[in-house]
């Protein structure tokens, strides 16, 4: 297993910010291509993505992995971890927060123990560490 890995995504953009559009390709798959434009970012237009949604995908998946690792290191095997990251963008301000909504089923774990693991993963997830300039909030539920 490599100790460092560089991951890439490529965007091709045509036109101005307001009238233009582009595509984002996840270079690892060469098949996942997403349409992106300003209206998706500022107005929530359907059938296109935006940088915040992609950031949310990164945050949600990284958080789930960090939580699973912390649990496994302590001898707990999660049955299921579901994480949604809601990343908020404000025009003129940028990304202003990420909210993690977590539901997990972990046999043999108390609610108090789960909350401690959930908070630890929020702080120590590599994407959370990269987002230290914004507030990160969490709602975690042991199913």
pLDDT at 31: 72
One domain for residues 29 and 93: no
Largest CA distance in the chain: 55
Q: Terminal CA-to-CA distance of the chain, rounded, Å?
A: 33
pLDDT digits (tens, 9 = 90+) for 86-96: 999 998 999 99
Report residue 140 as tokens. 């975690």
One domain for residues 39 and 65: no
Residue 105 lies in a domain: yes
pLDDT at 47: 82
One domain for residues 73 and 39: no
| Number of residues that this document lists for the chain | 143
Q: What is the pTM of this model?
A: 0.92
Query: From CA 102, how far away is CA 64, in angstroms rounded?
Result: 9
One domain for residues 114 and 133: yes
Residue 111 lies in a domain: yes
Q: How many domains does the chain have?
A: 2
- pLDDT < 50: residue spans in the chain: none
Give the CA distances from residue 109 to residues 55, 68, 70, 75, 84, in Å, rounded to whole numbers and listed in that order: 30, 13, 13, 11, 21
One domain for residues 19 and 74: no
Residue 115 sits in a domain of what CATH number?
3.30.300.20
Structural domain including 79 reads 51-142
């Amino acid at each position: 297993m490599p100790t460092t890995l560089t991951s890439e995504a490529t965007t091709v953009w045509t036109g101005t910010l307001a009238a233009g559009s582009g595509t984002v390709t996840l270079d690892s798959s060469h098949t996942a291509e997403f349409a992106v434009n300003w209206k998706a970012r500022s107005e929530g237009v359907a059938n296109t993505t935006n940088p915040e949604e992609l950031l949310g995908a990164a945050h949600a998946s990284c958080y789930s992995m960090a939580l699973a690792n912390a649990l496994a290191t302590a001898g707990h095997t999660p049955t299921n971890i579901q994480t949604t990251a809601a990343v908020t963008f404000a025009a003129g301000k940028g990304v202003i927060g990420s909210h993690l909504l977590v539901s997990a089923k972990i046999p043999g774990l108390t609610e108090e123990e789960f909350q401690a693991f959930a908070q630890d993963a929020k702080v120590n997830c590599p994407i959370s560490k990269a987002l230290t300039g914004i507030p990160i909030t969490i709602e975690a539920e042991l199913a």
